[in-house]
Structure 1
Amino acid sequence: MGGDGQALSNKRRILEKSRVFLTADELRKGDNGGGETTRKLKEEKVLRWSHCGLSLEPLQLPVVFDLYGRLYSKKAVLDNILEKRSLHKQNSSDLNSDMKISKLSDVCEVSNVEEGKDRKVLIRCPVTGYDSASGLHQFLGFWSCGHVVACAAVNESVGKPAAAKKDCPVDDDPASVCPFCGATSFAVHLILDQESDEVKQYRRLRSFTECLGSVGAQTRDVEVC
């Protein structure tokens, strides 16, 4: 950790260029059967499911997610925290204000993650068997147990119609129950299509977790305030 402010600034610019989100118009075209937009969306999702949002390198075990729904290698998060602390001690003005992770309790470690062929990280829904790397399904991460589950499994558990099972439930009350282990928790939508959706989710869940007392309160029993 050299605490090099210029290196961090360069890294930040690379990260900003790499964060690929479709525009609202592109998303609407995809919903209307735009083949190229749909293909682009799937490719970008596959990349974001397989690469760390900080280092931009392929994900390495262990894997964590934050309230934005982004995935990271835990090692990259630790390195980033130490780097920020080093810069803070130097009173550097080059701190990355966009990065909301300042301690390990700001992320949740994924429980159902494995290492596949060529050391590639695989996150597979323990209920449906859906692979997140396919880019075909939406997933939720449950904060207190760390299980990443396909939205289809969540909707099945609450009796949603088949036509709506592929979509993640949207609820003003984040309290939820993991359909795999039954732990009471709250769910984080992972790998969202638009950055504005990430920000909305962060604010909503941050408010909820502050009500609980701590964003990192990874307890087995989470009660609604």
Structure 2
Amino acid sequence: MGCDGGTIPKRHELVKGPKKVEKVDKDAELVAQWNYCTLSQEILRRPIVACELGRLYNKDAVIEFLLDKSSEKALGKAASHIKSIKNVTELRLSDNPAWEGDRGNTKGDKHDDLQRARFICPVVGLEMNGRHRFCFLRCCGCVFSERALKEIKAEVCHTCGAAFQDDDVIVLNGTKEDVETLKKRMEERRLRAKVGKKGKKPKAAESVSKPGVSEESPGPSKIKAMKPEENLDSREKKANSAPKSAANGSSSGKIGKPLSGAAKRSIADSEESEAYKSLFTTHSSAKRSKEESAHWVTHTSYCF
């Protein structure tokens, strides 16, 4: 059975010491960084995009992450700085003609050389396997080795000819120091973009609120909208000018319709002729005496 007096325990079996620090295999880390998506941990496949910190992603994984922000994933922290699809750049990668992929190991009887990369630098020909530093241009998305940019100094992209600045060069899968530098650049760039948007808004508000432009040269829609108001103003002017014309007509001897707002004047007190006054019931010739009038009430125009 054992432990019956014939066994002697050793010190490491009785005393527990500190745990050994697990060392990460550098080769496995390089393979994971350059061949797998940082967000979904799937094999990189075109279209491949890179963020402003130099990490590689599958474009469909980034779109799914932006659409489904409610899911809290541990891997989502790696893409927490990606707020929209504009924060990533689609890469233009050059294929490696020596890379066979899965075609050479269909039966499983060969060793897969993971250090052989799918993509290379189009200028120098170095493989993008993590052994050499690579970077991309944020303006056009072309990928080069850092050696190519240092040896062939130019202010124009070697592939597409697009002009770029030092701020547009972003290192892919750089060290911690590189990531900190890129993070500072990203924050400064986004801050400048916010300040620029705030500066544009007041200018747009001033151009809209200029009264001189809208009053001097109104558009066709404004002219159509002002037509009903103009009709109302013309009606009010006609109504105000009607009492004046009525007063002028009475002085000249012409008959006019009495206005409701004007003061009523008796025809007997007017300066018209007696023949004209006799046409109305207020004239003395139209009035009857008590003897001529009946003792009953009639609803006629001669009832006073």
Q: Assess same fold via TM > 0.5.
A: yes
Q: Alpha carbons of 1:114 and 1:77: their partners in 2 closer, same or farther (altered >3 Å)? A: farther
Report if the CA contact (8 A) 2:35-2:43 is conserved: yes
Decide which of 104, 120, 124 is 2:85's aligned counterpart: 104
Of structures 1 and 2, the larger Rg is shown by 2
1:182 aligns with 2:133: no
1:122 aligns with 2:128: no
Please give the secondary structure, in 1, of the residue aligned with 2:102. Answer: helix
Matches of 1:213 and 1:198, distance apart in 2: 23
Please give the secondary structure, in 1, of the residue aligned with 2:151. Answer: helix
Matches of 1:110 and 1:122, distance apart in 2: 14
Report if the CA contact (8 A) 1:62-1:73 is conserved: yes
Residue 15 of structure 1 corresponds to which residue in structure 2? none
Offset at residue 138 of structure 1 (A): 0.3
Identity of aligned residues (%): 29
Please give the secondary structure, in 1, of the residue aligned with 2:169. Answer: strand
Residue 13 of structure 1 corresponds to which residue in structure 2? none
Q: Alpha carbons of 1:207 and 1:126: their partners in 2 closer, same or farther (altered >3 Å)? A: same
Render the CA deviation track for 1:16-44: whole Å, top value 9, x for unaligned. xxxxxxxxxxxxxxxxxxxxx9x944542
Q: Using CA pairs below 8 Å that are at least 6 residues apart, which structure has the higher relative contact order?
A: 1
Offset at residue 181 of structure 1 (A): 2.8
Matches of 1:202 and 1:178, distance apart in 2: 24
Residue 152 of structure 2 corresponds to which residue in structure 1? 157
Say which is worse superposed, 43-52 or 136-145, in terms of deviation. 43-52
Matches of 2:38 and 2:89, distance apart in 1: 14
Please give the secondary structure, in 1, of the residue aligned with 2:49. Answer: strand
Give the structure with the higher percent strand. Answer: 1
Q: Calculate the TM-score normalised by the size of structure 2.
A: 0.43
Render the CA deviation track for 1:41-72: whole Å, top value 9, x for unaligned. 45422320111000011112110001110000
Residue 68 of structure 1 corresponds to which residue in structure 2? 53
Gapped regions of structure 1 (runs ≥ 5): 1-36, 160-175, 215-225
Matches of 1:70 and 1:152, distance apart in 2: 20
Superposition pairs for residues 73-222 of structure 1, below 5 Å? Answer: 73-84=58-69, 87=70, 99-114=80-95, 117-118=101-102, 122-133=118-129, 135-158=130-153, 177-185=156-164, 186-194=168-176, 197-208=178-189, 210-211=191-192
Report if the CA contact (8 A) 1:67-1:206 is conserved: no
Matches of 1:213 and 1:149, distance apart in 2: 31
Report if the CA contact (8 A) 1:63-1:113 is conserved: no
- What is the count of residue pairs matched by the alignment? 153
Matches of 1:50 and 1:111, distance apart in 2: 16
Q: Calculate the TM-score normalised by the size of structure 1.
A: 0.57
Q: Alpha carbons of 1:213 and 1:142: their partners in 2 closer, same or farther (altered >3 Å)? A: farther
1:59 aligns with 2:47: no
Render the CA deviation track for 1:62-110: whole Å, top value 9, x for unaligned. 10001110000101101101111xx29xxx9x9x566111211110001
Amino acid at match of 1:178: C
Offset at residue 113 of structure 1 (A): 4.8
Matches of 1:182 and 1:200, distance apart in 2: 26
Render the CA deviation track for 1:181-223: whole Å, top value 9, x for unaligned. 33123110110132x5313312214423653679xxxxxxxxx
Please give the secondary structure, in 2, of the residue aligned with 1:100. Answer: coil
